[in-house]
Amino acid sequence: MTKAKPRYAVVGGLREDYFITPSGEAHLREIGGNVLYAGVGAAIWTGGVGLVARVGDNYPAEWIEQVKSRGFDTRGINILKGRHDTRTFYAYLSLEERVDSDPAGHFARIGQPLPPELKDYTTSTEGQDDRRKFGPLAVRPADIPGSFHDIRGLHLAPCEYMTHRTLPEAMRALGVKIVTCDPSVRYMQPGLKAEVAAVVRGL
């Protein structure tokens, strides 16, 4: 039986989350990533949501199966050969304030040792402002499966500049009329006005 095509798609990161809640509760190695969070948000209002992301073959296959079992179209999740780092750390200082650096300091704040998995962690957004080349986990137009080419709308979660710069134009060329973008803080900088304008023109 032919699988139904998705009506909407979300592009972003599929991650391995380590986070601290506002109440000081630590969660280690949880399935996460903004492609998943945005996809769940879309699924509240509609069915037929496809996800597009890149992960290494070290990313837990059971997590992808879990996402698929919840009704998401995972044909856009590209599994690359080799190990790729998908760790993300963040800590909520309150219900309104979240930070994503200094994991050692935040675990010390709640009286817990730094998890060994985070000892060499710096940031999950390094390179997102690169305007010349795609990073290994940056989604590019060729990653969009053919079954997603006639979707009604595409949402770009915060990710690499090159993804935001190239996908809107490519999807518009396929006839996708609705393209939305949540920009990355990495390139939303005063010195990059021309680059931001280039993203906006594609929407």
Give per-residue pLDDT as tens, 21-80: 999 999 999 999 999 999 999 999 999 999 999 999 999 999 999 999 999 999 999 999
CATH architecture type of domain 8-14+33-85+128-201: 3-Layer(aba) Sandwich (3.40)
Dist CA 175 CA 152 (whole Å) = 9
Q: How far apart are the first and last CA of the chain?
A: 35
Task: Quote the pLDDT of residue 185.
Answer: 83
HSE, side-chain direction, 13 A CA sphere, residue 160: 21
> What is the bridge-based pairing of β-strands 26-32 and 87-92?
unpaired
Identify the residue whose tokens are 């304008």: 197
Q: Is residue 79 within 8 Å of residue 57, measured between CB atoms? A: yes
